[in-house]
Structure 1
Amino acid sequence: MVAGWFTHDSGEEDFRLLGTRCTACSSVFFPPEDTFCRNPACQGGELAQVPLSKRGRVWSYTDGRYRPPAPYVSDPDVPWEPYTLVAVELEAERMVVLGQAAPGVTVADLTVGTEVEVVPGVLDEDAGTVRTTWHWRPVGVTR
């Protein structure tokens, strides 16, 4: 889990990505920014943590079918499991956030414009440590 990127002490209903908003220009950033406003037209202001929209629309998507080549770390003894990657447009924040689709959601379940919601997910588990992340799931799907 990356501290400060999402709520983590709540259930699925309250799970949200967390960003920052500049008080001077109202630009919103994700991942959160804690040093300065990234808007080049802004002279800067205070940065405040804000929850991002829970729902958005698929802007783009693809599937990861192949094990990454060297120099990326990938254990050849662990079977490769394809995954779906989704870019989601959050209209209110005027941004696109990338993330994996929820387990069981494939490219066949998505089209550009599909409404999706952010849900908690598991990135991996190692020696009893669970690394939490976020996933995108089509609205109304409960798998």
Structure 2
Amino acid sequence: MTSRAETLLRRARERGVMIATAESCTGGLISGAITEVAGSSDIFDRGFVTYSNAAKQAMLGVSAETLAAHGAVSTAVAREMAAGALWRSEADLAVSVTGVAGPGGSEAKPEGRVCFGLAQTGLAVQTQTMEFGALGRGAVRQATVDYALDLLIRALA
């Protein structure tokens, strides 16, 4: 059975597309899933692990104003993370994730909420929020990785 990452590698290679990631709640797991596949250097440029707000600002150019107005777990921050990853890499396609893996969360931002951004050269950044629920930290992170890979695959369809 072909893994998501293998499908992504094949599609990106066919289209000559380089990919970057900007990760918060997954801490590099998306990059790890992609680079687990032999030959991924053909399509993977780099991954930004920006767990702290300071890292989001310094590495991806997320604005302090956006963080203050919306908080780190928001589509506004996911949008700026994806755009920053695209701009600060050699990639043609970038995915970003920021969310509450758990345990915990709040009424306003519950455990399992993850915001995604998808940036492609020449196109507006797309964002969406998934509510994976209180599955536990590991399961939320894995669901986030799977969903991010699926977003990248669909963008290359």
> TM-score w.r.t. structure 1 length?
0.26
- Bigger fraction of residues in strand: 1
Question: Greater relative contact order: 1 or 2 (C-alpha under 8 angstroms, separation 6 or more)?
Answer: 2
> TM-score w.r.t. structure 2 length?
0.25
